[in-house]
Amino acid sequence: MSFHTIFFDLDGTLTDSAPGVLACVRYALDKLGVDPAGRDTAENFIGPPLMTSFTAQYAFDEAAARQAVAYYRERYSTVGLFENSVYPGVTNMLAALQQAGKQLVLATSKPEVFTLRILDHFDLRRYFVHVAAAALDGSRDEKIDVLRYGMALCGLTDGGGCAMVGDRATDILAGHACGMTGVGVLYGGGSRHELTDAGADLLAAGAGALTPLLLA
């Protein structure tokens, strides 16, 4: 198969954000006086929107979940977003795809203000023609909404010839809902079982393995 446009998730796909994300989750729970109870894991908090994760894991009502997100961002905006690193092979992979003429688009449920700072910090923004990210007010944070927004930025009305690359089931499911090929990475927050259950069309064990898959 041949792809003209490739959408990439950020956390767990391009960068290992788990140290910063989980530290901020624990900070928020501590401020609320809530015991993490072993549910403050990458699987639970890397990928889904924060409101969804806090509600699902701690049965917060909407007000408590919003307060948890506010506390989370209190630390994340100054410290947490840089407790992060680019996965080995990612930069070379993006450069190879760009050189091959592929249109690369970032599609993340992380708010745009943080996304752009991270991309600039790691000098990754230059690889992407568009950045589709969540809105701070929660109006666009589900992956399907972010992906549709990214398609609109590209002037695309369907996902034929596109791939969605990510580490969680939400990435695969959103990609399929938009008519894209779902490509799962096995080094992020999601497991092989999660990705195959979601119907991933292709799987990559490392960032370097993405290059031949996406250029095939």
Q: Which residues have a catalytic role annotated?
A: 9
Q: Are 131 and 112 in contact, with CB atoms under 8 Å apart?
A: yes
Question: What is d(CA 139, CA 99) in angstroms, rounded to the nearest whole number?
Answer: 35
Residue 167 φ/ψ, nearest 5 degrees: -105, 0
What string of DSSP letters covers 3-23? -SEEEE-SBTTTEE-HHHHHH
- Is residue 4 within 8 Å of residue 161, measured between CB atoms? yes
Q: Which strand ranges, in their side-by-side order, compose the sheet holding 5-8?
A: 130-134, 103-111, 5-8, 162-166, 181-185, 202-204
CA dihedral 168, 59, 30, 46 (to 10 degrees): 0
